[in-house]
Copies of this chain bind each other. A is one copy, B any other.
């Protein structure tokens, strides 16, 4: 039985398996989605299915109002957060959510990750934001939908662009990341975890470690981004 979403499911499946291969998740902790803007839907991991048992056929197709369009399984319990982000950030193509160890530790510590070095600056020029825990009435309400609101509010308050900062920590919870494709969203999850680990160690060695100075922040970002970029083959 064929599906017009076969390729989308395959993309989503591969990105989820990559999350597992990169040691960013154990058991069923985490999920990745991939969007199809033309049809106004996204593909997402089914809820509570272990990676070693996951198949491309298990992937669920959902629209931006959280209706299941195709698939016999229940979609990820975080589906409404994905839907909210796709609806409001019209240029992103994939979203990843993990409970990766160091990213969660910073989330639980409720601290932004300071920009300490060029590994960080190669990817973004701001501290990685940690959104404050949600207010009680929002938690008791439509929780996962409100998680999306929480992320957008955080970006608005801090004056951040979701195109320049493709990752966020949710206080007490863990990281979300996104990008032009599902694969890039997973890449951003891995980079975030590595930056989180480096920043943790940096503070252990020197609690007064200074943030990277502005000139170096700009230089490293411009090597990879903008019109004069000279990193990579494109």
Contact = CB atoms under 8 A, between A and B. Distances in A.
A80 to B, nearest CB: 11
Contacts of A89: none
A10 interface: no
A118 interface: yes
Interface of A: 26-29, 46-49, 73-74, 77, 99, 101-102, 104-111, 116-119, 133-134, 136, 139-140, 143, 172-174, 187, 190-191, 194, 197-206, 209-210, 212-213, 215-216, 219, 223, 230-233
Given A26-B190, A210-B110, A219-B140, A202 B105 contact: yes
A215 B201 CA distance: 31
Counting chain B CB atoms within 10 Å of each CB, which of A101, A105, A119, A212 scores highest? A105
Nearest to A46: B233
Counting chain B CB atoms within 10 Å of each CB, which of A108, A118, A210, A212 scores highest? A108
Contacts of A110: 206, 209-210
A143 B233 contact: no
Given A174-B117, A219-B143, A111 B198 contact: no
A212 B136 CA distance: 12
Contact of A172 (B47, B101, B117, B233): B117
Contacts of A202: 105, 108-109
Contacts of A77: 223, 230-231
Contacts of A134: 216
A229 B187 CA distance: 31
B232 A108 contact: no
Contact of A205 (B105, B191, B194, B205): B105
B108 A139 contact: no
B108 A209 contact: yes
B49 A233 contact: yes
Contacts of A29: 119
10 contacts: A27-B190, A29-B119, A48-B232, A101-B194, A101-B197, A118-B174, A134-B216, A136-B213, A140-B215, A203-B205
